[in-house]
Amino acid sequence: MVFDAPGKDENTIKQAKIIVMTCTHAALRRNKLVKLGFKYDNMVMEEAAQILETSTPPNSKSSTVIMARPKNTQILRSSKALTSRIQTQSSVQPVRAQSVATRPQARSTLFSSNQNGSVPLTSDQRASTSSPFNLNASTLSSINQNGSVPSSPNQNQVKSKPVDNIQTVFDAGDCDIVPTELTIAEIETINQTKKVICILDVSGALTHASSPRIPIVKVIEARIPNGCLVANQGQELGGWTRSTNVDYPGIPSRYFTIGDLAKYGGDSATWTIQSVFENPNYPDWVFTKYLGWDALTAWEETKNDVFKKSPHVEKWIAMKKCFLAAIMTLEPKNLVETGVKRERFLGDGLLTNKEHVFWIYQEMSYLHSFVNRANGLPSIWYMNVKNLNEPPKFHYSVVNVIEKRLLDEYQKQEEGLQQVKKLKRSTGTRTACENPETCVRDSIFEYYNRKDRDDEELPDADKIEESTRKNMQPDAFGRLDFKGFDADDQRMVVECSDACGCSINCPRRQLQRGQKFGVVVYYEDDCRRFGLRALEPIEKGQFIIEYTGQILEVEPEEIGVIEDRDTSYDAEFAIMDRRKVVTAINIGNAARFMAHACTPSATFIETHSRQLVSDPLIPRISVYALKDINVGEEITIKYFRQDQMLKKKEGTKCRCRAKCKNWLPIYPYESDDDME
């Protein structure tokens, strides 16, 4: 509707899908509209950046304001002037908008109205004009009244990606669902296609994977998952490329913009919400940033509309709020207050600055969590409430990657293990297996721990006292008992497989089910940089996450502390294999961020785990909680044995707590193939 159209004004028409006006007009007419009980769905306001705030009817269900903002103009969301203005206006009975169309449809309807070439402008044009939306009556009349929009982005225009990268092997389609508690049927569906390990075949000689559970990659490279359709389309066709030279593996560098809406907007009701931010002034409203679209297209919508479309978003908001509230109590307020507000409410001109590093954190949070969801795993978020340093750069993978040659070696070793099948369950051994009568798991520990094995397989230097080896048994809830814990003891957990005849929900199958709790990769300080914090409460003894990375063969003298390789990302094996490590320096999951603490909250446990006996058997590393870890608390481990810690001031000063006197054998190291 256009108020100044001949013969029509707000006295004769009392509702409209879209109102268009200048900010001056808005100031003059608003009270009149309110008195009339005028109902509207969208407002397009020219030069909106000149006003301090656009006020929307507080109890309106679906009305919104489209603010046409020239680039680099900041909307001040919480100024005193704004507050007093809203208070003055709210004394008048507010407008209750009629629910004519859902917000996203209204948006794409508006921007896809480019029938005559006058709308929309490209983002560059928008930046160079003070009147970015050249809307007029003829333009508006071309808007499709029933809210239908041009066809979705031409999917054929997007080249299909070769399936030889780390992330595309975890595709779950264009899913938008966060599994909270999975049903057995859902777990079973995921398990059928679940990847258990990735073979790295640099030569490219392997053409076919022996099982869909064991994908082959030629190079360690994370790319945008195919299932994130719009992110891939944005990468291919989007009108804006981030100017930073930094490439984040698996994260798009190119995005759709407002200028692309007419061509690629499609049915925005089906767009995928990437992140949501609360509105501090209107608790019923949120800002939504969409996947594959730049931050300037972030949109204000009612919570009702958003939750109806994407119910999981409600949980995201609640979890973020809870995590940030915990951070405010755990950290010095002055260090985190601004950043916490930014995480919840945006602000600081973020909506007008798509280059802002903040948006890269949002991309990583969504895309890595997407990979997790495809595997039935909870979220991983990236947050920095302390400064605006760049987020970490690495290739994300929820499974280990191993060279073909090393996997073959394990398969040979497994022939020796075949004799385990002949072993019976040790009498009197406690097992939490659902099927105690048929569970043979403890025989496996006995095989690895047999007396003659050290003589056969381990160099003298690696022989250890049998008595320090512990076969850790979970209780009926899958928790380990850490009574009398000594970080230097060697521990092993043997999990059940299909050979035991138990279900995937058996308490002795923790690691193979994958990351159990949502976690946040959180900027700790300038020395430790990123660490890991709990997004959900974790109980003492519970499995938290697997430590994934690349399985590397190392010489015995390379294990632990060496000065020409950053071994702080290595997790070692002590019982199953003393010659390999899992290193997460280049590729891994959230566990790679755990910082060292001299009194840690979690520990590594070497784990014999495979879901099916037909899966390859490689030693794996579990992370278990040594104590209850509340939301917002740090998940730390002890990187080094006591005898490896330094006696003098060299290496790296330990910053696990303010007064720690220890020095860690971590030496400054620059990798040749540093991803920078």
Among 303, 373, 528, 638, binds ligand SAM (CB under 6 A): 528
228 vs 656 by CB, closer to ligand SAM: 656
Stretch near ligand SAM under the rule CB under 6 A, chosen from 368-376, 446-454, 498-506, 591-599: 591-599
Residues between 549 and 578 that touch ligand SAM (CB under 6 A):
568-569
CB of 411 to ligand SAM, least distance (A): 30
Taking CB under 6 A as the criterion, the residue among 143, 295, 360, 656 binding ligand SAM is 656
Torsion on CA atoms 108, 110, 115, 119, rounded to nearest 10 = -110
Instruction: In angstroms, give the least distance from the CB of 550 to ligand SAM.
Output: 14
Q: Check if the beta carbon of residue 538 is closer than 8 Å to that of residue 632.
A: no
> Is 299 exposed, middle or buried (CB count within 10 Å of its CB: 0-12, 13-18, 19+)?
buried
Going by C-alpha positions, the residue among 519, 166, 231 that lies closest to residue 371 is 166
Stretch that binds ligand SAM, among 192-200, 212-220, 446-454, 587-595 (CB under 6 A): 587-595
Nearest one of 317, 340, 338 to 327, comparing CA atoms: 340
DSSP 154-222: -GGGSPPPPS-STTGGG--SS-----SS--HHHHHHHHHH----EEE-TT----S-SSTTS-EESS---
Count of residues of this chain found to bind ligand SAM when the rule CB under 6 A is applied? 16
Task: Select from 593, 604, 624, 640 the one that contacts ligand SAM (CB under 6 A).
Answer: 593
Query: CA 356 to CA 347: how far, in whole Å?
Result: 12
Applying CB under 6 A, which of residues 406, 595, 617, 625 lies at the interface with ligand SAM? 595
DSSP letter (8 states) at residue 531: E
460-469, long-range: CB < 8 A, 24+ apart: 461/556, 462/556, 462/578, 464/490, 464/574, 469/574, 469/575
Comparing CB distances to ligand SAM, the nearer of 361 and 530 is 530
SS3 content of the chain, % helix, strand, coil (to 5): 30, 20, 50
Contact between 425 and ligand SAM (CB under 6 A)? no
Cα 583 from Cα 592, distance rounded (Å):
9
For ligand SAM, the binding residue among 420, 438, 655, 663 (CB under 6 A) is: 655
Q: Do 271 and 291 meet the contact criterion of CB atoms below 8 Å apart?
A: yes
Least Å from the CB of residue 647 to ligand SAM: 17
Contact 486, 599 (CB under 8 A): no
Q: Which residue has the tokens 């860690």?
A: 664
Binding flag, residue 547, ligand SAM (CB under 6 A): no
Rg (CA), the chain: 28
Query: Closer to ligand SAM at the Cβ: 367 or 635?
Result: 635
Nearer Cβ to ligand SAM (107/533): 533
CB of 236 to ligand SAM, least distance (A): 30
Kindly state the smallest distance separating residue 217's Cβ from ligand SAM, in Å: 23
C-alpha 611 chain-centroid distance: 25
Distance from chain centroid for Cα 125: 34
Confirm if 327 and 129 have CB atoms less than 8 A apart. Answer: no
Please, what is the minimum distance in Å from the beta carbon of residue 511 to ligand SAM?
A: 19
C-alpha span between 386 and 342 (Å, rounded): 11
Q: Which of 527, 599, 642, 644 binds ligand SAM (CB under 6 A)?
A: 527
Among 529, 539, 641, 650, binds ligand SAM (CB under 6 A): 529
Give the interface segment with ligand SAM, choosing from 43-51, 339-347, 435-443, 647-655 (CB under 6 A). Answer: 647-655
* Smaller CB separation from ligand SAM, 374 or 654: 654
Window of 365-373, 425-433, 608-616, 649-657 that interacts with ligand SAM by CB under 6 A? 649-657
624 in contact with ligand SAM (CB under 6 A) = no
Q: Which listed range, 182-190, 505-513, 525-533, 604-612, lies at the site for ligand SAM (CB under 6 A)?
A: 525-533
Interacting residues toward ligand SAM by CB under 6 A: 392, 527-530, 568-569, 592-593, 595-596, 652, 654-656, 666
